[in-house]
Amino acid sequence: MGVGIIGIGTVVPPKVLTNYDLEKMVDTSDEWITTRTGIKERHIADSNVNPSDLGAEAALKALKMAKVEPEEIDLIIVTSASLEMIFPSMAAVIQNKIGAKNAGGFDLLSACTGFVSSLITGAQFIRSGDVKTVLVIGTEVLSRFVDWEDRNTCVLFGDGAGAVVLREVGDGYGLLSWDLKLDGSGADLLAIPGGCAKNPCSEEVLKNKLHYIKMNGREVFKFSVKVLGETTEESLKKAGLTPADLDWLIPHQANIRIIETGAERLGIPIDKVAINIHKYGNTSTASIPLALEELVLEGKIKDGDILALVGFGAGLSWGSAVLRWKNIES
């Protein structure tokens, strides 16, 4: 059974924070940020906008494209690195907001690999025969978890959301193969260490800024460049394909140097790589759907094209999904 994407929707907050704005906030420059990350600007949510708000808006856009009513959704999978609350699940909050009264669901936590993991998981539910329609949402308000005095992290992240509707799309189309991996020995390389059971909210946690993103940039860069190519090749191999068969590489938008180096190692021309990090920064679970939707709306993806969606991030976690694209009916 082929399971694929029949609708996609994304949203970013209207407020834009440019590198020139950041120059006034921390010791940095547009040249420094652009050279090292490829980012020119990022979108920041207002204080009254939560991840579930962005996720619900993206979901409704995806449902509209898919011509699916909220009541038809069987399962909602939400993935996020910027949880609204520890519980209830964001899937439950969004289910209520969009009126998906017949849906079950849950949150799947895998940081920047989360969208790939959730897409794979949703496809397996449909293949089981127990559900027909799955809504996958990646949504982030990472700006709330950034130390705006730390120039090494505050320049990287942006807010946004992306959603896809999954259904059967016909044999030979949709998800062809996948790969998911973990290496928990690197858990401390990228983390928000405070605010949960290990380091509950306290004066000490706040004083030491443990409720903000902490990252070993050098080690995370080395890891990301390595696994981007490895997991892509592994998924392609499982599908009986090679990098030469790829029409589009759609990687997590973490850093332009990671993306370019990974593509070069795979031997994939840069014009076959989805890149929009300059506009949005690192939006974690939302970055892949944001990049995918651009290609879809611009008509760059054709029926039968082979796509590789690749995620990597905290955990350490990484993974990829290879799909044969089925054109979305207009």
Q: Is residue 68 part of a domain?
A: yes
Same domain, residue pair 320 and 259: yes
What's the domain range around 185? 175-325
Please tell me the predicted confidence (pLDDT) of residue 63: 99
Asked whether residue 19 is domain-assigned, the answer is: yes
**Same domain (yes/no): 286, 250:** yes
The answer to whether the CB of 177 falls within 8 A of the CB of 242 is no
Q: Does residue 155 sit in the same domain as residue 15?
A: yes
Residue 212: burial class (beta carbons within 10 Å; 0-12, 13-18, 19+): buried
DSSP 264-298: HHHT--GGGB---HHHH-B-GGGHHHHHHHHHHHT
The encoded tokens of residue 210 equal 């443990």
Q: What per-residue confidence (pLDDT) applies to 330?
A: 62
Q: Does 18 have pLDDT greater than 70?
A: yes
Q: Is the pLDDT of residue 105 over 70?
A: yes
Domain-terminating residue out of 172, 198, 221: 172
Same domain, 213 and 314: yes
Q: Are residues 185 and 285 in the same domain?
A: yes
Co-location of 123 and 199 in the same domain:
no
Residue 179's CATH number: 3.40.47.10
Residue 69 scores a pLDDT above 80 = yes
**Domain boundary pick from 172, 200, 218:** 172
CB 18 within 8 A of CB 24: no
Cβ atoms of residues 308 and 159 within 8 Å? no
- How confident is the model over 285-298, as a mean pLDDT? 98
Mean pLDDT of 86-113: 98
> Annotated catalytic, 196?
no
Give the predicted TM-score (pTM) of the model: 0.97
Whole-Å CA distances, 2 to 92, 129, 177: 28, 12, 11
- Catalytic entry in 19, 50, 154, 252: 252
Q: For residue 330, is it within any domain?
A: no
SS3 199: coil
In the set 19, 50, 255, 282, the catalytic residue is 282
Domain count, the chain: 2
The pLDDT of residue 1 is: 86
Q: Are residues 75 and 148 in the same domain?
A: yes
* Mean pLDDT of the 121-139 span: 98
pLDDT in tens, 181-210: 999 999 999 999 999 999 999 999 999 999
**Residues 183/324, Cβ–Cβ less than 8 Å:** no
Residue among 321, 128, 317, 330 at smallest CA distance from 241 = 321
Structure tokens at 162: 């992306």
Task: Assess whether pLDDT exceeds 80 at residue 329.
Answer: no
Q: Which residue, of 108, 138, 172, is where some domain finishes?
A: 172
**Is 47 found in the same domain as 148?**
yes
Residue 151 lies in a domain: yes
Catalytic residue among 43, 112, 154, 211: 112
317/195 same-domain check:
yes
Per the CB < 8 A criterion, the answer to whether 195 and 201 are in contact is yes
> Helix 256-266 crosses helix 30-37 at what angle (to 10 degrees)?
30
